[in-house]
Amino acid sequence: MKRPKTTNRYCPSCKKKTPQKVKEPSKGRPSSMKRGSKVRMKLRGLWRGIGNKGKYSRMKNQAKNKRKTTKKTNLMYTCTVCGKSKYQKKGKRTSKMVIE
Ligand SMILES: [Zn+2]
């Protein structure tokens, strides 16, 4: 999906429609020490030994992770008049977003 670099949008601080720059914020990498992550479970000594280990007992299904091909895009709009920026969360579902 192609998007223009600037759009006219409502700015809540200017209280009118202003030209705003569109930017896709960079996706940060998720922390490996997240609650319930495999790295954390290994460090704590879980996920080892005998018996039922809950969700780590199951075989890893790799096809399950690649089921969805599109994602909702996060876009950031920056007002050119006042300089304030705002997120538009949960945009349209696309496989690829190109800002030109
Ligand atoms: Zn503004």
Full domain range(s) for residue 18: 1-25+72-100
Give the distance (Å) from ligand 1 centre to CA of residue 69: 35
Give the distance (Å) from ligand 1 centre to CA of residue 6: 14
Question: Does residue 3 form part of some domain?
Answer: yes
| Per-residue pLDDT reduced to its tens digit, 43-76 | 887 777 788 877 777 666 656 666 778 888 888 9
Give the distance (Å) from ligand 1 centre to CA of residue 1: 26
Between 79 and 67, the more confident residue is 79
Question: Does residue 66 form part of some domain?
Answer: no
Give the distance (Å) from ligand 1 centre to CA of residue 52: 56
Q: What is the CATH number of the domain that holds 97?
A: 3.10.450.80
pLDDT confidence of residue 59: 63
Residue for token pair 């969700």:
55
Q: What is the 3-state secondary structure (H, E, C) of 30-57?
A: CCCCCCCCHHHHHHCCCCCCCCCCHHHC
Quote the number of domains for the chain: 1
Which residues crowd ion ligand 1, with CB under 5 Å? 11, 13-14, 79, 81-82
| Per-residue pLDDT reduced to its tens digit, 19-51 | 999 988 777 776 778 887 778 888 887 777 788
Q: Whole-structure pTM over 0.85, yes or no? A: no
